[in-house]
Structure 1
Amino acid sequence: MGQQPIVIDPAGRDIHGEAAELRRHESVAPVELPGGIRAWAPTGFEVLRQLLADDRVSKDPNRHWPAWQEGKHRDGWVNTWVGVTNMFTAHGADHRRLRGLVAPAFTKRRTDALRPRVEEITATLLDRMAAVPDGRADLRAAFAHPLPVAVICELFGVPEDRRADSARLVSEIFNTAATPQEALATLHEVHAFFTGLVAARRERPADDLTSALIATRDEEGSRLTEGELVDTLLLVVSAGHETTVNLIGNAVHALLTHPEQLARVLDGEFSWNDVIEETLRWSPPVANLPLRYAVEDIELPGGVTLARGDVILATYAAAGRDPRRHGPDGDRFDVSRTDKEHLSFGHGVHFCVGAPLARLEASIALPALFDRFPGLSLDDGAAPAEPLKTFISYGFATLPVRLARNTRPGPAAVDVPSRVRT
């Protein structure tokens, strides 16, 4: 990389500012990730889509990242992301094998069967919010977070008394500003947590997906190693936490900061599906996803060649607002937009298996929330919504709101934090 790299902020304080800087390059931009990792970042929609579907791009560091093979970068945040063995870090036949074990749990039929339970959890959370005496709440803590956490934990049999621990550990996994010591401690605790879950379910099987995976492992051990089993649980539970939490929170924040669009949705002019897909494009739950590697030299537009072994960062935030795809107003939230195509659930063989579940949960949660609280607004008497401190996720650590029930939002101007201002 002869060009000066763009240094990515570990705390993700200006995700979309960095994305705009990336897009000044024609196809890919050199970046430096936390820990001094040099990588290439696709700068727009088309190049990212090309690389996500290219079989010359791998996610297996053990086979295709020379620095990792040499023992480098094993003491920081990246170890939690690439130092695991599951379908997230697999390539080729290994990826097909591991994905094949998990994908049947997330088919449309099985996902649709979860609708009554998602509706039940949603109603319970809204009842609790309605009972708050002063009509004020942190929407993430009270609603956006506990809904998908409850769903994914029930699916995989995480006991109720351990769900707070699982949520805390997932949050720490996404903390890319952690010190190497903190990241290592998190990795050890995460593996202890899921190893314990496997042991408990092996001793007392139940009607959950962890027990089903254990049965596969124990009956057909050649298909799933014990390490793969533990790391697969880590992947699906953590992904089930983070993506939908941010999708719901980002959609609510987008609507509350664009009240004229919220009014049109509540009037039925646009659908909740329009809201969900525009949120995924404009404010993707995952902004940047590490890591991929060039299996061989790959020529890209603009005369750039990714050399064999080069690292690639998947840049969903940059792609979502790419003006070359979405026009000069690509950085504007607009539920009436005709082309809402995005890559926020990935593309190609690594497309997110949980995408139908995330969409289902959001499609239930959002209309139910605004039906119960049609006058919902940001709480201007509280501290501003606090962004997550990570360059991987994109969302809010806190989202203070007022729960007015009987008024519609008007066209008054709303102050938007600089991180998400359009």
Structure 2
Amino acid sequence: MSSVNTAIQLITREQAEQGATAKGSTCSPALAKGPWDYDLAEALAGIPAYGPGASSADAAPAATPRQGQLPEEYKLASDAELGERILAAKAALGDRAVILGHFYQRDEVIQYADFVGDSFQLANAALTRPDAEAIVFCGVHFMAETADILSAPEQAVILPNLAAGCSMADMADADSVAECWEQLEEIFGTEPDAEGRVPVLPVTYMNSSAALKAFCGERGGIVCTSSNARTVLEWAFQRAQRVLFFPDQHLGRNTAKALGVPLEQMPMWNPRRELGGNDAQALLDSRVILWHGFCSVHKRFNVGQIEKARKDFPGVQVIVHPECPMEVVDAADSAGSTDFIKKAIAAATEPTTFAIGTEINMVNRLAAEYPQHTIFCLDPVICPCSTMYRIHPGYLAWVLEELVAGRVVNRITVAESVQDHARTALERMLAARP
């Protein structure tokens, strides 16, 4: 099975040659270009963007990191040449560098990773290499921040393309959350109830900035992942009357609903509206206050796609990520983290048809890894995570060869003052095991 990038190149070429009769579709023909084209376009326009893919319609904040121009030699190199240079650099560096690859990365990058997993698995994997001078994180910005928080001070965490951010993480910024918190405290007060539960506790998803993890740590809050969100909410409800959950509304809603929290007790907080678009009574009656954020990849999945999969493949098993909208999770056979999805397919002993609702690179890789099954993405349009797709073998070759030359580029650092509180929130998460 060809990689997602290969499929995009083929579809784009066929569309140019055959027009409407071409088979297959992507959400943007610009996906076939090198990410350095977007770097240049943003530099010329002076406006940051997430690039083509699922998040292309999301507005990037002005402070979004931007990648400088990649040296021309890496843009012009063939895939084979880049592969040779990456392998040579890895050999020269040996144990001095470790490469981490997220499940959603393109195959052309994943093939060089020493560890593959979700964001927190990878941050933990880096801890198994305490002697590594450099941690090259092929993921997105908040993941590299987490790795920097958990790694030793002398270890350099490197993000091959600084423009690999996360539109969901950017939907909740520190100033907006702090303003929300002030308004909530005015309504709820700060005194605990007779059972010792505080009025509200902040819970942030792993897909958030280090500043927001620190915000939670400083206020008795916690971080969650998609795999332990239920346990974390249970932990929070033991300590608080209600929870402010950010930035992903869908993970918060799906998790709280599974715990029996009624939808009417889950108001949405829109930071662009007064009191988040609510009245004070709705907030007083709440159990979970959901932030108006979402993942643009998982927002693409819908019930119609599930209905078509069931019609085309009777007996199909539909598994989706809990970042999908509630109606999609309800219509699926099961929902869980990327690791849950991978384990569910690995556990199937008989040939099975799986329709998966998560990022296309992971789905495509699972289909290649388990050829005894029929595995396909619910979304028929190839539309990868915009920001994950900003990582390309050219950038990986560049940062590795710079390390060989004794230079550290694209280092991600989190201020010590932020690290302390963020680490506290992460440690609480680690202690809240499912």
TM, length-normalised to structure 2: 0.26
TM, length-normalised to structure 1: 0.26
Q: Which has the higher contact order (CA 8 A, sep 6+)?
A: 1
